[in-house]
Structure 1
Amino acid sequence: MRYWQLLKKRGKSMSSIPHDGNGPSASAAERDLRNLHADHAAVAPGEIAVGVVIGRASEYFDFFVYGIASVLVFPAVFFPFLTPLDGTLLSFTIFSFAFIARPFGTTLFMSIQRRWSRGTKLTGALFLLGTSTVGIAFLPSYATAGITTIILLSLLRFLQGIALGGSWDGLPSLLALNAPRGRRGWYAMLGQLGAPIGFFIAGALFLFLWLELSKEDFLGWGWRYPFFVAFAINVVALFARLRLVVTEEYTQLLEERELEPIGIREMLRTQGYNLFIGAFAALASYALFHLVTIFPLSWIALHSQQSIPSVLIVEMCGAVVGILGTVASGWIADRIGRRTTLAVLACLIGLFALFTPWLLDGGKFAQDTFIIVGFALLGVSYGQSAGTVTANFEKRFRYTGAALTSDIAWLIGAAFAPLVALSLSSRFGLAAVSVYLLSGAACTLLALRINKVIESRD
């Protein structure tokens, strides 16, 4: 039956297919199915990769625009009644709201997809992401609106998380499943390239505005510009992704791979253990993620150890190193395995954690070294962190499983990282950051070990 459904979509009729008396001959059936998948192979990997990179880069740009603003803008604009440290901590608290909201967004928009369509879901999610992002640009300062503006900021940040959870389109999973044999590590890293690319663009935009505007103009209106840019980029990304996910060819590919939404209750009941193994397997990467992007900017800025432009320039250089590391992760993973890559990088991140106090508190050269080396480790590790153990999911659970695994990993590993790191380091010293990173590395190694034991029993 599946064979006839696929042939019907391709426009073939029974009369055009050779029979042996009981149905189509084996050779004819095999030939038609080979042709069908050959057509897919000719168009799928490259075009899917473009859609994945564009989509993820736009999401991460939104992500980092908010993160950088949490350090450079929000303490002064929305929390002027607090000390710079307390204002930054409160900014980081609201920063975490999007990660708390992501699983709810995934659940909501999976239901929308089951009821209507994948295109409706993606359009709604990206429209919500764009409007909530640009809404932040229109918020009045605390001096104008008082506590109301803080409530609105919190609400818009939560809506950003709902939208990010709903924007899962299944393209990374489809890309991994259609990658050539022996090249899955390479294709897996393509979606992860969006992180350093998005950070580089966001950092460059804030750097330009900081250098070109007076501090009064920057805090008065200049900081709003990146949020308008984020809205425009989301529009471009929406059309780039819709061009893929609503076409007949890609709908057919998604259906063939059974990449369809599954009810969350059923998912948790039957595959819950895989969700948490997958989330913890990537924890070292996600814990490091904000500790080399957002946290150093806050720590250095609060202690006036370097100028803001100097830190942003180094972090942009780090983003370039992160891009190179992400690309290298694909080459490495295809030779030693994706899980081995994650395990080795977890050990290296643990070793890097031991030097964190001396680097971050050691002057400009040491701080710059922390950022550059951190981005290098992040690139290689994060490049293979998505979907490393999603092969454990039953086929029909992979679409929803990949989305929820990512949501949980962000929530556990990254949501509170800037808040926890800045809070603990301000009270107990930078050794607390080392402990935080070491715990992430230990969780990754433990999860990978558990995953290996489970696989050996199957």
Structure 2
Amino acid sequence: MTHSQEKVHPPSSDSGSSSGKKPPGMKKVATASFIGTVIEFYDYNIYGVAAALVFPTVFFPALGAVAGTVASFATLGVAFVARPFGSILFGHFGDRLGRKKTLIVTMMLMGVATLLVGLMPTATQIGVAAPILIVVLRILQGLAAGGEWGGAVLFVSEHAPKAERGFWAMFPSLGGGGAIILANATFFGTAVWMSDETFLSWGWRVPFLASILLVAVGLWVRLSIDETPVFAKQIKSHGVARTPFLDAFKSQPRQVLLATGAAAFTMSLTYIGGTYLISYGTSILELSRPYVLSIAVLGGFSISVAVILSAILSDRFGRRRMIMTAACLAIVWTLMLFPILETRSMVAFAVGVPVTMFISGIATGPLGAFLSELFYTRYRYTATGLSYSLAGMLGGAIPPLIATPIIAAWGGFAFGLVMAGLAAVSLICILTIGETKQLDLDREDGVPVS
């Protein structure tokens, strides 16, 4: 036991995850992580859809169309800035108190923040206080999301047999695809059944208020699952880290930075394809809102299919090979995307969004197992969540924020060059990290990653 660790009493679970045998209840564990992530990122994604469709008018009416859209996406980006801090905060407790307890807290925080967004008065009602309060609530969403994905991934991967870890660890990411479908489908329903005036008046609130029912279901599911066997073994044998964040940067700083770079491009594809193109389709291409949202739902199905296929293949061919394939495809596709969309064809939009999301899904499928395998147990929650959140800030917050001014000044191809450059950086990081699927999650420090 090192000076930075302390002994605690372990949870009751004592089964191993690297024995090659399928632990009992694996389907239940995967279901709990899937449902939990669906709910968390449904709450997170409906804000993105609303930021594209409603918030420029509701909360930033004085700024005009272009500036209002930029300001709206800036509030979207605030959560990405908050996510790394959420990863550090909840990662600290996840590495010390356990994955299960921490995931319950992140879900409750996300649920309350999302409910309050749905109850928020508009700028015409309370003036400048409205956008300020929206930013505060978005920060709370970002903190919760920062602690969610990493913990949900570890909850599955630390239960899963080694040979099938890629498959089981993809369920939280699959939940993210389900959240995209659910969020856009909910807004699609309001768009079909309501006039534009009604939607802008109060209809946009419905998806936010309805989320509290989903949160209740998610809490019930998560409370029924035991702590992970890998974490139980760690604290029984070595205790827990007193400062997981410092330990991660002391032991594996290079891996944290490389993992951030490796995941950045898939985050950019997800949030350009799943959020920004909704705004682009309605405001720039002037397509109808129901049509744009229906294609966004199709994009959610597209990323989900790719996540499943890529995760399964990663157990056979390796995590690195699948993520590298996606990065290479992304470099080519991002240079083609906006020239295709600028034809202003409905068919072009129906191709552009699903293809973008499919490529993102190829990288996202193995990502949960990849990041889990990269880090040691005593700070895995912190390091995994932090890498993913920093990638979200780099790839998920910045591209949607700069897309509108770049496209307005230099055209879509110029923005495609930015996206392709980010994918190239990710490709280099992936090549540097090496393969991880052969590694045991309960290995001791000092075992090389590649």
- Normalised TM-score (structure 1): 0.85
Cross-structure match for 1:159: 140
Deviation of 1:143 after TM superposition, in Å, equals 0.9
Amino acid at match of 1:256: K
- What are the superposed Cα offsets for residues 32-66 of structure 1, whole Å, 9 maximum, x if unpaired? x9999989944242221111111111111112100
Q: Say if 2:278 is the partner of 1:297.
A: yes
Aligned counterparts of 2:324 and 2:47: Cα–Cα separation in 1: 31
Which of the pair has the greater relative contact order for Cα pairs under 8 Å at 6+ separation? Answer: 2
Q: Which moved more, 1:171-180 or 1:347-356?
A: 171-180
Aligned counterparts of 1:7 and 1:165: Cα–Cα separation in 2: 25
Aligned counterparts of 1:205 and 1:8: Cα–Cα separation in 2: 40
Aligned counterparts of 1:120 and 1:345: Cα–Cα separation in 2: 34
| Superposition pairs of residues 58-457 of structure 1, within 5 angstroms | 58-112=39-93, 120-167=101-148, 170-244=151-225, 247=226, 250=227, 252-257=229-234, 262-362=243-343, 363-452=345-434
8 Å CA contact 2:99–2:155 kept in 1: the answer is no
- What are the superposed Cα offsets for residues 224-281 of structure 1, whole Å, 9 maximum, x if unpaired? 110011222122112211221xx3xx35553125596653122222222111111111
Deviation of 1:370 after TM superposition, in Å, equals 0.8
Amino acid at match of 1:436: V
Amino acid at match of 2:419: L
Amino acid at match of 1:285: T
Aligned counterparts of 2:230 and 2:160: Cα–Cα separation in 1: 13
Given the superposition, is the C-alpha separation of residues 40 and 130 from structure 1 closer, same or farther in structure 2, using an over 3 Å criterion?
farther
Amino acid at match of 2:250: R
Aligned counterparts of 1:358 and 1:35: Cα–Cα separation in 2: 51
Given the superposition, is the C-alpha separation of residues 298 and 173 from structure 1 closer, same or farther in structure 2, using an over 3 Å criterion?
same
Q: Which moved more, 1:429-438 or 1:111-120?
A: 111-120
Cross-structure match for 2:443: none
Deviation of 1:80 after TM superposition, in Å, equals 1.1
8 Å CA contact 1:260–1:399 kept in 2: the answer is no
- What are the superposed Cα offsets for residues 393-428 of structure 1, whole Å, 9 maximum, x if unpaired? 234232322121111111111122211122211221
Amino acid at match of 1:255: A
8 Å CA contact 1:285–1:378 kept in 2: the answer is yes
8 Å CA contact 1:278–1:387 kept in 2: the answer is no
Amino acid at match of 1:162: L
Given the superposition, is the C-alpha separation of residues 185 and 252 from structure 1 closer, same or farther in structure 2, using an over 3 Å criterion?
closer
Q: Which moved more, 1:71-80 or 1:399-408?
A: 399-408
Aligned counterparts of 1:114 and 1:360: Cα–Cα separation in 2: 45
8 Å CA contact 1:278–1:447 kept in 2: the answer is yes
Cross-structure match for 1:43: 24
Bigger CA radius of gyration:
1
Given the superposition, is the C-alpha separation of residues 94 and 75 from structure 1 closer, same or farther in structure 2, using an over 3 Å criterion?
same
8 Å CA contact 2:42–2:183 kept in 1: the answer is yes
Q: Which structure 2 segments of 5+ residues have no match? A: 1-7, 437-446
Aligned counterparts of 2:448 and 2:90: Cα–Cα separation in 1: 35
Aligned counterparts of 1:38 and 1:98: Cα–Cα separation in 2: 39
Name the SS for the 1:386 alignment partner.
helix
Aligned counterparts of 1:101 and 1:405: Cα–Cα separation in 2: 13
Cross-structure match for 2:5: none
- What are the superposed Cα offsets for residues 353-408 of structure 1, whole Å, 9 maximum, x if unpaired? 12122211012211221112112212222212234254332342323221211111
Cross-structure match for 2:444: none
Q: Number of paired residues?
A: 429
Amino acid at match of 2:213: A
Given the superposition, is the C-alpha separation of residues 260 and 309 from structure 1 closer, same or farther in structure 2, using an over 3 Å criterion?
farther
8 Å CA contact 1:48–1:171 kept in 2: the answer is no
Name the SS for the 2:48 alignment partner.
helix
Name the SS for the 1:43 alignment partner.
coil
- Normalised TM-score (structure 2): 0.87
Name the SS for the 2:425 alignment partner.
helix
Given the superposition, is the C-alpha separation of residues 290 and 37 from structure 1 closer, same or farther in structure 2, using an over 3 Å criterion?
closer
Deviation of 1:303 after TM superposition, in Å, equals 1.9
Cross-structure match for 1:16: none
Given the superposition, is the C-alpha separation of residues 114 and 274 from structure 1 closer, same or farther in structure 2, using an over 3 Å criterion?
closer
Deviation of 1:195 after TM superposition, in Å, equals 1.7
Name the SS for the 1:388 alignment partner.
helix
Q: Which structure 1 segments of 5+ residues have no match? A: 11-32
Aligned counterparts of 2:105 and 2:46: Cα–Cα separation in 1: 21
Q: Which moved more, 1:217-226 or 1:255-264?
A: 255-264
Given the superposition, is the C-alpha separation of residues 316 and 180 from structure 1 closer, same or farther in structure 2, using an over 3 Å criterion?
same
Percent identity between the two aligned chains? 28
Deviation of 1:352 after TM superposition, in Å, equals 0.5
